[in-house]
Amino acid sequence: TGASKVSQVHENMKALDVVPKLTAEVMKAIEAATAV
* Per-residue pLDDT at 2: 79
Question: What confidence tens digit (pLDDT) does each residue in 5-30 have?
Answer: 999 998 988 888 888 888 999 889 98
Tell whether the torsion through CA atoms of 20, 23, 29 and 31 is positive or negative.
positive
Q: How far apart are CA 3 and CA 24, in angstroms?
A: 28
Q: Could you state, in order of their start, the residue ranges of all structural domains in the chain?
A: 1-36
Q: Give me the mean pLDDT over the 26-36 stretch.
A: 90
Question: Residue 35 pLDDT > 90, yes or no?
Answer: no
The answer to whether the predicted template modeling score (pTM) of the entire model surpasses 0.75 is no
Name the more confident of 2 and 17.
Answer: 17
